[in-house]
Amino acid sequence: MNLKIAVLPGDGIGPEVVLQAKKALYAISVMFDHEFIFEDALIGAVAIDKTGTALPEQTLNLCLNTDVVLLGTVGDGDPKYDNNPDAQKRPSQAVLKLRKELGLFANKRPIKTYATLMHSSPLKREIIEGTDFIIFRELTGGIYFSDKSLNDEKNKATDVCEYSEEEITRITHLAFQAAQKRRNKVTMVDKANVLETSRLWRNVVQKVAYDYPDVELNFLFVDTAAMQLVLNPRQFDVILTENLFGDILSDEASAITGSIGLLASASFGTKKALFEPIHKSFPQAKGKNIANPIASIVSAAMLLEHFGLTEEAKLVHEAIEKAIEYNVVTLDLNPGTSFGTNEVGEFVSNFILNKDDLMYFNNDNVHIGQSTIV
Ligand code: IPM
Ligand code: MG
Using CB distances shorter than 6 Å, the residues near ligand 1 are 74, 76, 92, 95-96, 247
Q: What percent of the chain has pLDDT over 70?
A: 93
Residue type at 29 in one-letter notation: S
Contact 197, 191 (CB under 8 A): no
Question: C-alpha distances in angstroms, 333 versus 58, 114, 163?
Answer: 38, 12, 40
Q: What is the mean pLDDT of residues 152-160?
A: 97
Q: What is the mean pLDDT of residues 138-165?
A: 97
Q: How many residues does the chain have?
A: 374
- How confident is residue 181, by pLDDT bands cut at 50, 70 and 90? very high
pLDDT at 76 over 90: no
Q: Which residue's C-alpha comes closest to atom 10 of ligand 1? A: 247
Query: Is 247 designated active site?
Result: yes
- How confident is residue 258, by pLDDT bands cut at 50, 70 and 90? confident
| Residue to probe by mutation, ligand 1, list 137, 247, 276, most atoms within 8 Å of CB | 247
Query: Is 81 designated active site?
Result: no
Sign of the C-alpha dihedral, residues 121, 75, 317, 177? positive
Contact 158, 149 (CB under 8 A): yes
pLDDT at 84 over 90: no
106-264: same fold as 1-104+269-374? yes
pLDDT at 363 over 80: no
Average pLDDT, rounded, for the chain: 92
User: What pLDDT score does 279 carry?
Assistant: 87
Query: Is 223 designated active site?
Result: yes
Backbone angles phi, psi at 265, to 5 degrees: -140, 155
pLDDT at 88 over 90: no
Domain ranges for the chain, please list them: 1-104+269-374, 106-264
Ligand nearest to the CA of 73: 1
Give the active site residue among 147, 223, 314, 326: 223
Per residue in 96-135, pLDDT (tens digit) is 999 999 999 999 999 999 888 888 889 999 999 999 999 9
| Residue to probe by mutation, ligand 1, list 55, 92, 274, most atoms within 8 Å of CB | 92
pLDDT at 85 over 90: no
Residues with CB under 5 Å of ion ligand 2 are: 247
Provide the strand spans (E) within 166-259: 185-190, 216-221, 238-241
CATH architecture of 106-264: 3-Layer(aba) Sandwich (3.40)
Per residue in 220-232, pLDDT (tens digit) is 999 999 999 999 9
pLDDT at 370 over 70: no
Query: Is 33 designated active site?
Result: no
Residue type at 328 in one-letter notation: V
CA within 13 Å, CB half, 279? 28
Tell me the CATH class for 1-104+269-374.
Answer: alpha beta
Sign of the C-alpha dihedral, residues 44, 46, 49, 52? negative
Contact 117, 138 (CB under 8 A): no
Distance CA 363, CA 11 (A): 21
- How confident is residue 255, by pLDDT bands cut at 50, 70 and 90? confident
| Residue to probe by mutation, ligand 1, list 96, 143, 265, most atoms within 8 Å of CB | 96
User: What pLDDT score does 361 carry?
Assistant: 42
- How confident is residue 77, by pLDDT bands cut at 50, 70 and 90? low
Atom of ligand 1 nearest to the CA of 99: 12
pLDDT at 368 over 60: no
User: What pLDDT score does 257 carry?
Assistant: 86
Q: Residues near 125 by Cβ (< 8 Å), separated by ≥ 6?
A: 118, 119
Distance CA 73, CA 11 (A): 6
Contact 236, 227 (CB under 8 A): no
| b/e map 180-199, b = 16+ CB within 10 Å | eeeeebbbbbbbbeeeebbe
Query: Is 356 designated active site?
Result: no
Per residue in 29-55, pLDDT (tens digit) is 999 999 999 999 999 999 999 999 999
Q: Of 72-76, 153-157, 209-213, 215-219, which gets the smallest average pLDDT? A: 72-76
Ligand nearest to the CA of 90: 1
Q: What is the mean pLDDT of residues 68-78?
A: 85
Which parts of 232-360 fold into alpha helices (H)?
A: 243-254, 294-306, 310-325, 341-352
User: What pLDDT score does 365 carry?
Assistant: 43
- How confident is residue 343, by pLDDT bands cut at 50, 70 and 90? very high
Give the active site residue among 247, 272, 280, 332: 247
Q: Which residue's C-alpha comes closest to atom 7 of ligand 1? A: 92
Question: Which pTM value belongs to this model?
Answer: 0.91
pLDDT at 79 over 80: no
